[in-house]
Structure 1
């Protein structure tokens, strides 16, 4: 006999230092056309905050990058994110269409998530976007600390484009902090887990990765619901 299926519960948001820090930089970049590069470990909440901000604000375009993208794929995905439903043409035409579309928006913000997955040839687009949209469109590069290490190594080796990228982000990568136990407790409480022993166990097992936290909370929710239904 198959176990009774339990409907998944929605994930409740709890504000963390990472979330509030990112929202502050998103707002600054959007309303003042600023450019920032933000780095944080995998699972620290970068993508969650970006999706939330894009859902709550107009003219905010969040793009999750992938390592297999070439230049044309990147521009196709970006045009779709902006709202252009039938992107096409060569790279130059698509670049022009992207810039034109962003100029038509009021206070646009482009969040390039997982930027460390992009090849050099695609990452160079950041330089062009900065040059063509400066003061009109905010840009946020988000990645793991690997991007900062990559840019620093490229600068040291005098590789093409790396010094230009570093200059355009203000010669600084903004590091995000790891989730604290107090913040994790707030996340657990928001998602119906309040037992202190359970929270402590989750904190020590998650290693700062909120994806792991979500899995652990889901597992404990499911266990609690099953016990209630028995």
Structure 2
């Protein structure tokens, strides 16, 4: 419950009280809310008011946060732990999870909160130079006029000068083979100094396994460097969706069950459904 949202509730509550005619009349129209409590909120004496009570009032007066509120889902906790391990100990991991499971948001939150961690959202059209350009740009390094070799040397130099750096390659399955091989080069030149995380849907694990069976160049090396193991995320659970709903002002069981049933395990769909319910309230 942020200060910004509390102020938003307070403003909406003032309008609500004015519409009802008085704090007593407003309190009588709200379940489990006293006039004293409303007075405390309006007068700014609300340090002892719980987040649950704030959400209760917000729901009843139809006040929803203008900012989407995230929660720590099961996969968020797994991802955070894996990335912290990779960064602290210069380990290399590969994570796979369904689209819409919150991977990208988890990576963004991690990099915002952890120094020397760099997130790349990969794309199919990247060639080797574009990959290095994107990485240097994310690291804040001026790469103008550099050749591919000079770019790679600059990346290695920069990362080796930092304490516990981490590279996160999101949607790594989109990278063509010629670019994916750079993972091997980065690993070889930064081994025991820089953590690396490859992240994608299960298409990445299937691609690597198929490449190994077909004896394609580089695939056995990639598999070896990730420890011959893919960390599979759990996906979105009912508990996760319940917490997201409550954080964003939806706390009745019927609506939560409906959102879960219609979510198909996709948090993007969950967000749209919650916003649709908010608009109907």
TM-score (norm 1): 0.91
How far the C-alpha of 1:220 sits from its partner, in A, is 2.4
Q: Of the two, which has the highest radius of gyration?
A: 2
Is 1:159 aligned to 2:216, yes or no? yes
Deviates more, 1:199-208 or 1:34-43: 199-208
Matches within 5 A, 1:195-210: 195-210=252-267
How far the C-alpha of 1:70 sits from its partner, in A, is 0.8
How far the C-alpha of 1:88 sits from its partner, in A, is 4.0
How far the C-alpha of 1:87 sits from its partner, in A, is 4.3
TM-score (norm 2): 0.75
Of structures 1 and 2, the one scoring higher in RCO (CA 8 A, sep 6+) is: 1
| 2:88 aligned residue | 31
How far the C-alpha of 1:86 sits from its partner, in A, is 4.1
Q: Deviations over 1:71-96 (max 9, x none)?
A: 11111011011111444422111111
Structure 1 gaps, min length 5? 1-5, 225-230
| 1:111 aligned residue | 168
Q: Deviations over 1:88-132 (max 9, x none)?
A: 422111111111111122110111000000000000010001100
| 2:226 aligned residue | 169
Secondary structure of the structure 1 residue equivalent to 2:95: strand
> How many residues of Structure 1 are paired with residues of Structure 2 in the alignment?
219
Secondary structure of the structure 2 residue equivalent to 1:124: helix
Deviates more, 1:99-108 or 1:51-60: 99-108
8 Å contact 2:64–2:249 — kept in the other structure?
no
Separation in structure 1 between the aligned mates of residue 272 and residue 247 of structure 2, nearest angstrom: 15
The 1:39/1:84 distance shift into structure 2, 3 A limit, reads same
How far the C-alpha of 1:7 sits from its partner, in A, is 9.8
| 1:94 aligned residue | 151
The 1:120/1:95 distance shift into structure 2, 3 A limit, reads same
8 Å contact 2:94–2:197 — kept in the other structure?
yes
Separation in structure 2 between the aligned mates of residue 85 and residue 219 of structure 1, nearest angstrom: 45
Secondary structure of the structure 2 residue equivalent to 1:67: coil
Structure 2 gaps, min length 5? 1-62
8 Å contact 2:236–2:265 — kept in the other structure?
yes
- The root-mean-square deviation of aligned C-alpha atoms, in Å, is 1.5
Is 1:48 aligned to 2:48, yes or no? no
Matches within 5 A, 1:1-230: 9-224=66-281
Deviates more, 1:48-57 or 1:215-224: 215-224
